[in-house]
Chain A
């Protein structure tokens, strides 16, 4: 039988990998992938705990909500990245230091 702690440990590993990507990457798209990894780690925890709630399905339903929210986030973030690329000709987060004027 798979215990709850196993799932939590896998989630922790994925979360830290995502955090490393967010802090170290010099490309906005890879930063976005890091954010997705962290979201997935959170969803894994929701699903793992949701196993013990058969009547209300709290964990699984909110995992579904989190997946949908991640989709909305990605769409808006990619639109922003495209706009930034159009204006600065780069998507390196370190290079983007100026406001509009």
Chain B
């Protein structure tokens, strides 16, 4: 087994197990902090998929921005948030969660079945891409190419997303201001 494959297994194990812990934990704070670990492990998986720029963006935006935002919202919403969690303590198997478990497991079964049937490694366009040497290999530097593509091929979505970010910023500021003053 090569080192890359071993790293892939370690990273995906950390990602999936910490996501499961975040899902099953009854403590909200613990669930938020273990989500940090999931995001870091996913950044590692992006590196293994040879997308280092996306991995760095993931660390900067998700870990640096979104999680701090979630922690802020948690701290601003106060003690009532925790009361909800304390009520559902007690029984080990909560009957209210059974439908959710069934839904998730069945969906997982369907999606795994589809993935195995689709056989993504033998798709025609992927074979063609490998044959034409259009595949990213570990020695290529992709960041420069991403920058060029962002400013040429994908300029329109880039501008659209910048306008959308401005709108989200203004909207979030408008929603979270104090009531009373029109």
Cβ contact within 8 Å between B16 and A33: no
Known: A48-B49, A60-B142. A16 touches B2 (CB 8 A): no
Name the prevailing secondary structure of the B interface residues: helix
Interface size on B, residues (CB 8 A): 90
Interface flags for B63-98 (1: CB within 8 Å of A; 0: not) read 001100110111011101100110010000000110
- B112 x A33 contact (CB < 8 A): no
On whether A74 and B129 interact (CB within 8 A), knowing A13-B16, A30-B31, A69-B161, the answer reads no
Residues of chain B within 8 A of A15, CB atoms compared: 111
- Per-residue 0/1 for A46-83: is the Cβ within 8 Å of any B Cβ (1 yes, 0 no)? 01111111111101111111011111111110111111
Besides A10-B15, A76-B175, 7 other CB < 8 A contacts?
Answer: A10-B16, A51-B136, A54-B140, A57-B145, A75-B168, A85-B78, A89-B80
Binding site for A on B (CB under 8 A): 2, 4-5, 8, 12, 15-16, 19-20, 22-23, 28, 31-32, 35, 38-39, 42, 45-46, 48-51, 53-54, 57-58, 61-62, 65-66, 69-70, 72-74, 76-78, 80-81, 84-85, 88, 96-97, 99-101, 103-105, 107-108, 111-112, 115-116, 119-121, 125-126, 129-130, 134-136, 140, 142, 145-146, 149-150, 153-154, 157-158, 161, 164-165, 168-169, 171-173, 175-176, 179
